[in-house]
């Protein structure tokens, strides 16, 4: 068997019978498979179920220089009751904001069950010294964030210093304490599906609770084939170790139809166990309103204009 590339210490895949296999991804075939799954036709009850799940799994996000406490407060209201006219619509999973706005979100969301997520480690580029990044993580957790979204050091990854990337994730995980760690691979900068798979395995081995596609700051963020590659990596880790790692596509998911396509992939690749906010999140800002529109259409039989849904 082909010798797998040398692995950083602590890699969790088993070393007993077989060597861990990083393997490769065939671009044409993975895109074909993703295209096939995207053609699933989800109707009626199954559609409503999926749309509600998409809301329950949503990380409602605002990551702008112009974010203010007022903006975040509005977003938190949306997170708790996405459709003020329909109490049957569930809350989203979390609100994702910059560290400075964590206290506002914590206060607004107290008692609602909606989590507070924040980005740290010099988001979005990750190009800062390690001690600065760690300090940022510790401070953000202290401010009350339940979940930390970190970025990997793409510079180190692309220059082949995998051990550095790995080591950094291990230390960030430690700094997180009880907070959940989502590791952003920023797939648009990785260039190949092979790299996406390698980075996914690296992040999971280093202790990621979730792996996440993108910062949302670059064009070409989450795509269906990239999502599939990451899900397959998660499944391989589960098969080898029994550990369930979560998945979060982010960036570019704006329509209900698209969200359902992502959920179909999860359903048919990882199985129903992953169809829960504990193991699956969708990072989005404009998706929720499109889902609300579809849900209301399913319930009332008629589409309503955008003006009937709040922009927050």
Partner 1 sequence: MSNVEKRRDRAPVPQDWTYAPAPETRDIVRLRDQYGLFIGGEWVEPKAGERFKTIAPRDEEPLAEVAQAGPEDVTRAVGTAREAFGAWSALPGSERAKYLFRIARILQERSREFAVLESLNGGKPIKESRDVDVPLAAAHFFYYAGWADKLEYAFPNRTPRPLGVAGQIIPWNFPLLMLAWKVAPALAGGNTVVLKPAETTPLTALLFCDVLRQAELPPGVVNILTGDGSTGAAIVDAEVDKIAFTGSTEVGKAIQRRLAGSGKRVTLELGGKAANIIFDDAALDQAVEGIVNGIYFNQGHVCCAGSRLFVQESIAEPLVEKLKRRMATLRVGDPLDKNTDVGAINSRMQLEKIEELVEAGRAEGAEIYQPPCRLPEKGYWFAPTVFTNVAQSYRIAQEEIFGPVLSVLTFRTPDEAVEKANNTPYGLSAGVWTEKGSRILWMAERLRAGVVWANTYNRFDPTSPFGGYKESGFGREGGLHGMEPYLSLS
Classify residue 160 by its DSSP letter. T
- Cβ-based nearer residue to partner 1, 55 or 134: 55
Q: Which stretch binds partner 1 (CB under 8 A): 30-38, 126-134, 209-217, 304-312?
A: 30-38
- 26: contact with partner 1 by CB under 8 A: yes
> Distance from first CA to last CA of the chain, Å, rounded?
55
What are 147's strand-pairing partners? 117, 180
Q: Which two tokens stand for residue 21?
A: 């296999």
Cα(25)–Cα(101) distance, rounded to whole angstroms?
Answer: 40
**Is 32 an interacting residue with respect to partner 1 (CB under 8 A)?**
yes
Residue 85 CB, nearest distance to partner 1 (Å)? Answer: 11
Contact (Cβ atoms closer than 8 angstroms) between residue 116 and residue 95: yes
* Separation of alpha carbons 175 and 192, rounded Å: 30
Please give the Cα distance from 193 to 118 (Å, whole number).
Answer: 27
Peptide bond into 124 cis (omega under 30): yes
Task: Give yes or no: 248 in active site.
Answer: yes
DSSP letter assigned to residue 298: H
Residue 111 interacting with partner 1 (CB under 8 A): yes
Cα separations in angstroms, 304 against 43, 85, 288? 19, 13, 15
Q: Which of 47, 217, 244, 254 binds partner 1 (CB under 8 A)?
A: 47
Instruction: Verify binding: residue 43, partner 1, rule CB under 8 A.
Output: yes
- The residue among 59 and 232 lying less far from partner 1, judged by its C-beta, is 232
Of 10, 84, 160, 220, the one binding partner 1 (CB under 8 A) is 84
- 127: burial class by Cβ within 10 Å (0-12, 13-18, 19+)? exposed
Give CA–CA dist 27/21, Å, rounded.
Answer: 18
Q: Is residue 224 within the footprint of partner 1 (CB under 8 A)? A: no
Q: How far apart are CA 281 and CA 96, in angstroms?
A: 11
Q: Is 47 a catalytic residue?
A: no
Q: How far is the CB of 3 from partner 1 (least distance, A)?
A: 11
Choose between 164 and 298: whose C-beta lies nearer to partner 1: 298
Q: Is 18 in the site for partner 1 (CB under 8 A)?
A: yes
Structure tokens at 177: 């304490």
The one among 5, 6, 9, 87 contacting partner 1 by CB under 8 A: 87
Residues 255-284 that bind partner 1 (CB under 8 A): 263, 267-268, 272, 275
CB of 16 to partner 1, least distance (A): 13
Mark the segment that binds partner 1 (CB under 8 A) among 15-23, 57-65, 127-135, 285-293.
15-23
Q: What is the DSSP letter of 16?
A: S
Helix axis angle, 44-56 relative to 256-269, nearest 10°?
Answer: 90
Under the criterion CB under 8 A, does residue 33 sit at the interface with partner 1?
Answer: yes
Instruction: Specify the stretch interacting with partner 1 by CB under 8 A; choose among 78-86, 96-104, 164-172, 284-292.
Output: 78-86
Among 16, 65, 88, 307, binds partner 1 (CB under 8 A): 88
Full strand arrangement of the beta sheet holding 94-97: 246-248, 210-212, 180-184, 147-151, 115-119, 94-97, 58-61, 282-284
Q: Which of 165, 186, 158, 173 is nearest to 249 (CA)?
A: 186
- For partner 1, which residue of 62, 90, 133, 167 counts as binding (CB under 8 A)? 90
Least distance (Å) between residue 126 CB and partner 1 = 29
Q: Which residues bind to partner 1, rule: CB under 8 A?
A: 1-2, 18, 21, 23-26, 28-30, 32-33, 39-47, 49-50, 52-53, 56, 77, 80-81, 84, 87-88, 90, 108-112, 232, 239, 263, 267-268, 272, 275
* Residue numbers annotated as active site: 149, 212, 248
């Amino acid at each position: 068997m082909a010798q797998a590339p040398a692995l950083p210490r602590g890699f969790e895949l088993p070393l007993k019978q077989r060597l861990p296999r990083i393997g490769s991804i065939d671009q044409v075939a993975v895109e074909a498979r993703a295209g096939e799954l995207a053609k699933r036709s989800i109707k009626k009850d199954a559609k409503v179920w999926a749309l509600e799940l998409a809301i329950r799994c949503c990380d409602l996000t605002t990551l702008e220089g112009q974010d203010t406490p007022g903006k975040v407060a509005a977003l938190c209201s949306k997170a708790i009751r996405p459709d003020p006219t329909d109490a049957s619509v569930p809350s989203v999973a979390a609100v994702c904001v910059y560290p400075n706005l964590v206290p506002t979100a914590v206060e607004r969301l107290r008692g609602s069950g909606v989590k507070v997520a924040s980005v740290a480690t010099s988001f979005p580029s990750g190009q800062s010294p390690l001690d600065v990044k760690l300090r940022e993580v510790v401070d953000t957790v202290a401010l009350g964030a339940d979940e930390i979204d970190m970025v990997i050091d793409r510079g180190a990854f692309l220059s082949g210093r995998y051990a550095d990337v790995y080591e950094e994730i291990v230390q960030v995980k430690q700094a997180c304490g009880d907070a959940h760690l989502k590791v952003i691979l920023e797939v648009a900068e990785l260039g190949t599906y092979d790299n996406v798979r390698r980075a996914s395995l690296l992040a999971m081995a280093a202790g990621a609770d979730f792996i996440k596609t993108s910062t949302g700051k670059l064009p070409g963020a989450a795509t269906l084939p990239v999502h599939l590659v990451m899900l397959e990596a998660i499944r391989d880790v589960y098969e080898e170790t029994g550990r369930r790692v979560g998945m979060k596509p982010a960036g570019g998911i704006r329509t209900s139809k698209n969200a359902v396509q992502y959920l179909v992939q999860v359903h048919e690749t990882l199985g129903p166990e992953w169809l829960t906010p504990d193991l699956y999140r969708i990072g989005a800002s404009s998706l929720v309103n499109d889902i609300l529109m579809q849900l209301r259409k399913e319930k009332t039989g008629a589409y309503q204009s955008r003006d009937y849904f709040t922009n927050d």
